[in-house]
Amino acid sequence: MHPLELTLTKSSSPKYLQLAHALREAIKKGLLQPGEKLSSAREFAKVLKVNRHTVMNALAELVAEGWIVAHQRSGYRVNQALPITQSCTATPQPSVPVHQFEFTRPLPYQAARDISDYQYCFAGGLPDLTQFPYREFQRALVKSSQQSAFASFHYGEADGSKLLKQQVGEYLRRARGIQPVDDKQVMICNGSQEALFLIAKALLNPGDKVAVEALGYPPARAAFSECGANLVTIAQDSEGLCIADFERQLQLGGIKLVYLTPLHQYPTTLTLSIARRMRLYQLACDYNVIIIEDDYDHEFHYACQPLQPMAADDPARRVIYLSTFSKLMFAGARVGYIHGAREVITQLSGLKQIINHKNDIVMQQAVAFWMQTGGFERHLRRMTKLYQSRLMAIVNELQGYQKLGYPIEFRVPDGGMALWVNVHRSVIGLKAALEKQDVYLQTEDEFVAGSLGTVSYIRLGFAGQNEEKMRAGLAIIVEQLYAHN
């Protein structure tokens, strides 16, 4: 193909870029050889029926990129230094083999369907986004964009906005009984998952042992495993983590961290008693174990005031506490936080600088302004009331099925956004079957660490959809469970 045979299309791309692209491809394919002289700009313009300035702009683009060289009085030539030896129309040469990447730890990414796309969604930690005060929060975003110091838009503050850290610190003192000395004990992160990964990366060496509950949060286990940890499964009973089994595993040696969700255990929703918390803390001190306390939905507690976090009574400074605003706001905000000893926060901040210089500063400042003006806690009070009514609604619905003779068994949780329900049927394959009917829920087998035994529990989130959808979706679940078994 001679360059004068090039054709331009009626695309939205400017004609000079189309011409530059066509010439670039001709050079790459060897249709124009290194050192070969190009037709004049006048000839290109005449044949392609374009303005000469269009051609000159295309040639200037290629000169800037290094594909062609301009020679005074002799026009343009293909760059002699390009490693192109022949035309693609000549005898084919052996192709360059496609590189096969080798990964240290293959991590298959499964693009799942967005849970918000389901007609009936029983996701356990999904807030009702239709109830979020978007206009109120928009004002905080506008204020953040207008009033944030320009300096905060640059690099720096890897540990988070100073204003947001101050607001989080005040909130922890007031609402959770945690007493950070100053904002050097608080770090803002991109949600709890980043917090877990940073903690694992900072504290674990390959081969270290991490104690996790037999039923627990899979992304936490993934973060620990990815950092080379060996997971030690701790048994659970009707009151939560089994202290006797934890002590037995400690006696075997090597446990460095224990990860737990003591307020609303994930996924069973059980609250770990004061007695067990105290004994667990004593054991952690005796065996030099660090406690990772994930308090993912502390805000939503209905039966009474929630128990204070373990981090609120931590004289030995061995609790690293993390939480998130995703359950009150929305997951896309990516605002979580860590509270811990100063040296821990310093190390985590150093790691974050390597991974991600800083979080979205506009979002951080907006959340800080929202908290400062009381909007955060007003919304919290509204949603606590709403979610409590939805909890009672789903409890009443399940009790109705019990009266009809369905073998459904559950305990009403003290708080949280989900119920843990024993349906006395195998739940293997239930999730996939319900997805075909536009229903999303999670089943016990998703949470098991270690060998899979009998699995008969489902986790029913009640916060993210209205009561009408809850009833309709629950009817489909019951039908699938008992009409097909």
> Do 400 and 354 share a structural domain?
no
What is the mean pLDDT of the segment spanning 378-391?
95
pLDDT at 229: 96
Mean pLDDT over 81-92 rounds to 64
CA-CA distances (angstroms) from residue 359 to 26, 281, 403? 44, 33, 51
CA-wise closest residue to 171 among 371, 312, 382: 371
User: Domain holding 430: CATH number?
Assistant: 3.90.1150.10
Domains held by the chain: number: 3
Residue type present at position 279: R
What is d(CA 51, CA 41) in angstroms, rounded to the nearest whole number?
A: 10
190 and 324: one domain? yes
Residues 402 and 330 in one domain: no
Q: What is the rounded average pLDDT of the residues 202-216?
A: 96
The mean pLDDT value for 176-186 works out to: 88
Average pLDDT in the 7-25 region?
Answer: 86
Strands 209-213 vs 255-260: parallel, antiparallel or unpaired: parallel
- 57 three-state secondary structure: helix
Q: Are 367 and 385 within one domain?
A: no
Q: What is the pLDDT of residues 241-291, one digit of tens each?
A: 999 999 999 999 999 999 999 999 999 999 999 999 999 999 999 999 999
pLDDT computed for residue 150 by the predictor:
63
Residues 73 and 194 occupy one common structural domain = no
pLDDT > 50? residue 385:
yes
State how far Cα 222 lies from the chain centre.
13
Higher pLDDT: 238 or 419? It is: 419
Residue 181 belongs to a domain:
yes
162 within some domain? yes
Rounded to whole angstroms, what are the CA distances from 481 to 14, 119, 122, 419, 461? 59, 19, 16, 17, 17
Shared domain for 155 and 273, answered yes or no, is yes
User: Model confidence at 4, in pLDDT bands (50, 70, 90)?
Assistant: low
Q: Positive or negative, the Cα torsion across 420, 425, 427, 428? A: positive
- Would residue 159 count as lying in a domain? yes
pLDDT at 98: 84
- Give the C-alpha separation, 216 to 296, whole Å: 13
Q: How far is CA 260 from CA 329, 336, 445, in A?
A: 23, 17, 19
84 or 185: whose pLDDT is higher? Answer: 185
Which residues face 337 on adjacent strands? Answer: 188, 323
CATH of the domain at 54: 1.10.10.10
**C-alpha 442 chain-centroid distance:** 18
- Same domain, yes or no, for 233 and 320? yes
Among 314, 346, 373, the domain-final residue is 373
User: Taking the alpha carbons of 253, 257, 262, 267 in that order, is the dihedral positive or negative?
Assistant: negative
Q: Can you say whether the dihedral through the CA atoms of 354, 360, 362, 367 is positive or negative?
A: negative
Q: From residue 348, give the alpha-carbon distance in Å to each of 65, 67, 179.
A: 42, 46, 20
Mean pLDDT of the chain: 90
Domain's final residue, options 310, 341, 373:
373
β-pair type (209-213, 290-294): unpaired
How confident is the model at residue 53, as a pLDDT? 93
What is the secondary structure of 201-259 as a DSSP string? HHH--TT-EEEEESB--HHHHHHHHHTTPEEEEE-EETTEE-HHHHHHHHHH--EEEEE
Checking if the pLDDT of 86 tops 70, the result is no
Q: Quick one: average pLDDT of 339-367?
A: 92
Is residue 35 over pLDDT 60?
Answer: yes
Whether residue 229 is contained in a domain is answered as yes
CB-CB contact of 371 with 143 (8 Å): no
Asked if the bond preceding 97 is cis, omega within 30° of 0, the reply is no
Among the three residues 33, 60, 78, which one is the final residue of a domain in this structure? 78
**Domain of 54, in residue numbers:** 15-78
Q: Are residues 209 and 330 in the same domain?
A: yes
Res 48 pLDDT > 90: no
Query: For residue range 103-127, what is the model confidence (pLDDT) as tens digits?
Result: 887 777 776 678 878 999 999 888 9
pLDDT greater than 50 at residue 51? yes
290 lies in the same domain as 361 = yes
Of 432, 436, 433, 438, the C-alpha closest to 465 is: 438
Distance of CA 21 to the CA centre of its chain: 39
Q: Is residue 8 part of a domain?
A: no
**Residue-wise pLDDT tens digits, 219-229:** 999 999 999 99
pLDDT of residue 333: 83
d(CA 69, CA 424) in angstroms, rounded, equals 77
Q: What is the mean pLDDT of residues 148-158?
A: 71
Structural domain contains residue 9 = no
Give CA–CA dist 365/167, Å, rounded: 10
Verify that 232 and 367 share a domain, yes or no: yes
Whether 11 has a pLDDT exceeding 90, the answer reads no
Supply the pLDDT for residue 88.
Answer: 52
Mean pLDDT of 174-202: 92
Residues 241 and 369 in one domain: yes
**pLDDT per residue as tens digits for the range 444-477:** 999 998 777 889 999 999 999 999 999 999 999 9
Q: What is the pLDDT of residue 13?
A: 86
* % of the chain exceeding 90 in pLDDT: 69
3-class state of residue 460 by DSSP: strand
Give the model's pLDDT for residue 90: 47
Tell me the CATH number at 153.
Answer: 3.40.640.10
Shared domain for 313 and 401, answered yes or no, is no
242 is a domain residue:
yes
In a domain, 106, yes or no: no
User: In DSSP terms, which residues pair with 420 in a beta bridge?
Assistant: 459
